[in-house]
Structure formats: structure tokens, C-alpha cells
Chain A
Amino acid sequence: MVRSQQFQTDRSDALRQQLIEMPKAVKNRERAQGQRSHFQHLRPQDSSASTRKRLGLRVGAGALAGGLVLGALALALTPEDRSEDASRIIKSLTKAQQEVDKLPAGALPVLASTGIDPSQTRLLGHSATIRYYGAPAPEQITNGATAGKTICMIPVDARGESKSLGCTLLKSFESYGLKIETPDRTEAGWLVVPAAAESSLESVKNEAGWSRQAPNFLVRNNN
């Protein structure tokens, strides 16, 4: 009906500049407020699977939204241990990795360039089609990320593949926990500090499908 349209150049440039500033402003605000969670995304290997769940898309916002509620609760409940030892969050790290803890081969590429040791992954739980693995990560997992030891969660889809992972600093884990949701919010995994699991579950009581699958791991199945 209409030929391809061109944007007025100066308006387009100004709009583009506005858009570029939006993510930066949020990031800066988070930093100013001491919210240090960040998200590590690796380039998808295959974007052709139209039916595949888009994993991890909401991790940043999820960690923040859930974290604000969780933070207040957790801060009051767990002042005793803020160490940078990931095993205080993932207890199974004190034991040897089991077969079930290993990432499927198809998900291993997601660890590339993160410095995460594949022998350090641990299965946290699962929702309907996604398995969630946790792992400690070295400092400075990404360029520009705030320094500090990090804990990561890796969602693996039903095909045994993973495109992304979510990470947050251990020293600020109490404030936010780490939550990964599918874009349609039908499935989610939420790793929290052990003492805050009950409170966290309570904080999402109005969202259907949440349950406590492990002492400090909540999942959502709302299909």
C-alpha cells in the first residue's frame, strides 16, 4: 500500500540518542542504589527454533523486582553470613559433583568465556520444561561488571541447550536472590538465601504456580 518510509534524519538521530540513554540510565541508577546484579548473555547458537522457550530474558528485571521484596525480608533474616563462598547458597557445592549436576553437552557452550568451571555446576531444580543449574563464577565475569565473586544460574531447555545465564554478586545475594523467568512468565526458577525461602514464597503468593522445590529454590509452573 505504501512504499518504504524514511525517518526524518535529525528526529531519528535524536530519538536514537534518547533510546541509548534509557538502558544506561537504569544501569546507572542500579549502581547508585548498590544493586549489583547483572546479566550475562551469550550469543544464541541457533535462532531458528521458534517453539523454544526464550530462556533468561527476564532475569535482570526478575532479579530486581523479586529482589526488592526479597531484599527487605532477607536482610532482616540473614545478617550472619555474607561470605563470598557460593556453597552458602548452593549447599551441594560442598560435595562432589554428581552425574545429575553436569550440564548437558548442548548447554556447555554457554559457559564459554565465563570462566565457570563445568565441574562446579549443580542441579538446583526444574520447572515444566527447564532445568536450572547453579555454579560459582570467578570475579569479573564480564567486562564492566562490578568486581566480586559471582554466583550464576544456567537455565537448560528441554532440548538440553542453554542460550543464557544469569549471575549476581555473592556479597549482595541477600538483596536480590537470582530469578530467571521465561518471557511469558509461565516458568521460573528463583534461588534465594536459605533463610528467606518462606518469605520469598509468601511474596509471590498472588502469582499462580509458585512452589518451594528445595530448601532455598522456588519454581513456578503456570502453564
Chain B
Amino acid sequence: MSGGSDDTDEALWLLAVNGDGDAFGALFDRHRDRVLTHAMRVVGSAHTAEDITAIVFYEAWRRREYVRIVNGSIVAWLLVTANNTIRNHNRQRRRYRSFLEQLPPPALTADIADEVVDAAERESEARTLRDAFSRLKLQDRDVITLCVIEGLSLRQAAVALGVAEGTVKSRLHRAKTRLGALYGQLDSPEPRHDHSLHEGRTW
């Protein structure tokens, strides 16, 4: 079997797609929290973020022929898939309802998200930035996720997204501009709404 901590994502993924469940488990162990944290950044609810994380890994398996390994790592693909899942959360949740329903229910204790969100909301800049991010178009979120939050190079992001490096560069420029504009608009006392879980096009 497999799943040693020394194995690269690429090696584990190749083992997984050829029937090695433990290799897939090792990939889950390795990237679960990173995907969860990213989802949490966007949706602001721990329980929803957990569901999204689960769906991301279900999707990795369902769409295994299309998974991209960038620099030996699967994480960029997982994060981009997380953005897609967040956008299509309701539809994806229906697709995987039977799997999700097999998971234990969320703990009855208070959602840790409340604590996290409360903490985050003490900093209005962080809150506004999160709102602005969730209002970006999906492709803008993807380049921001990969190039800004995860610190991938333009080339790595291009491989992950399946587009030219120049395209990433221009998208990143536009995404930053849009993010800045949205941030400016939202940095006001008007009430805000969570737009992160709308199906289809977000804006």
C-alpha cells in the first residue's frame, strides 16, 4: 500500500487513481485543512466549509481524469475546485447528498465559525475584504486564490488553470483592480449580504 509522508502528491495521486484508497486518504490528510481554511475564508461558516471541503475531494475523484498536478502538488487544483464548489454549492450538494448524509452531523456545540467570524469582524478591513472577494467573478477569485493567497507563480497558476501565462497576468491585474473597487464600495456602513453561495454566476 502507500501513503507515506515522503510521497509527492503526484505519486499519491497516481496510486489513488489506480485503486489505492490509502493514497487518496493520504492526500486528504495532507490538504484537508488547507482547503477547509480557504473555504472558510470565503463562506464564513465552518459547517458549510466542511461540506465544501468534502465536495472538493469527491469532485477530485469524480473528475480524476482532469485533475492537474502543478509543481508536483495537487493543491492548486483543489483550491480552484473549491472556488467552483462555492459558486455551485447548492447544486454540488445535491449531487453528493447521499455521501454527505453519511457523514456525522455537525457538532451540537456552537459553530466555531461564530467565534471565527466574530473575531474576524473585529477587524472591519478583513470583513470587507472577504465580502469583496466573494463578489468577484469566479475567474477573478481563482487568480487571486492562486497568485495572491497561495503565492503561486504566474506560470504555476497558468498550469493549474489551463490558460496561458499572459492570460493569468492580465486576469490578475483585472482581478486586483476589481477587488480594489469592490473593497472601496463596501467600505461603508451600509448593510451587506452574503453572496458567496449563489448558484451560477455570482455577479
Q: How far is the CA of A30 from the CA of B57 in the complex (A)?
A: 22
Q: How far is the CA of A39 from the CA of B153 in the complex (A)?
A: 31
Which residue numbers of B lie inside 8 Å of A, CB to CB?
7-8, 10-11, 13-25, 28-29, 32-33, 36-37, 40-41, 46, 49-50, 53-54, 57-58, 61, 64-72, 99, 102-104, 106-107, 112, 116, 119-120, 126, 129-130, 153, 155-156, 159, 162
Partner of B36, one of A5, A24, A43: A5
Q: A48, B72: Cβ atoms under 8 Å?
A: yes
7 contacts between A and B (CB under 8 A): A2-B40, A10-B104, A18-B99, A19-B58, A19-B61, A43-B8, A44-B11
Q: Mark A179-197, 1 if CB is under 8 A from B, else 0.
A: 0000110000000000000
Q: B68, A19: Cβ atoms under 8 Å?
A: no
How many residues of A are counted as interface, with CB atoms below 8 angstroms from the partner's CB atoms?
45
Q: How far is the CA of A154 from the CA of B19 in the complex (A)?
A: 20
Q: How far is the CA of A4 from the CA of B189 in the complex (A)?
A: 28
Q: A15, B28: Cβ atoms under 8 Å?
A: yes
Q: Which 4 residue pairs of A and B lie closest in terms of their CB atoms, listed nearest first?
A: A27-B19, A47-B72, A20-B21, A41-B14
Partner of B155, one of A11, A43, A50, A57: A50
Distance in angstroms from B48 CB to nearest chain A CB is: 12
Find the A residue at minimum CB distance from B65.
A61
Q: B37, A41: Cβ atoms under 8 Å?
A: no
Partner of A24, one of B21, B33, B99, B106: B21
Find the B residue at minimum CB distance from A46.
B72
Q: How far is the CA of A11 from the CA of B102 in the complex (A)?
A: 9
Which residues A7-56 have CB closer than 8 A to chain B?
7-8, 10-12, 14-16, 18-24, 26-27, 30, 38-39, 41, 43-44, 47-48, 50-51, 54, 56
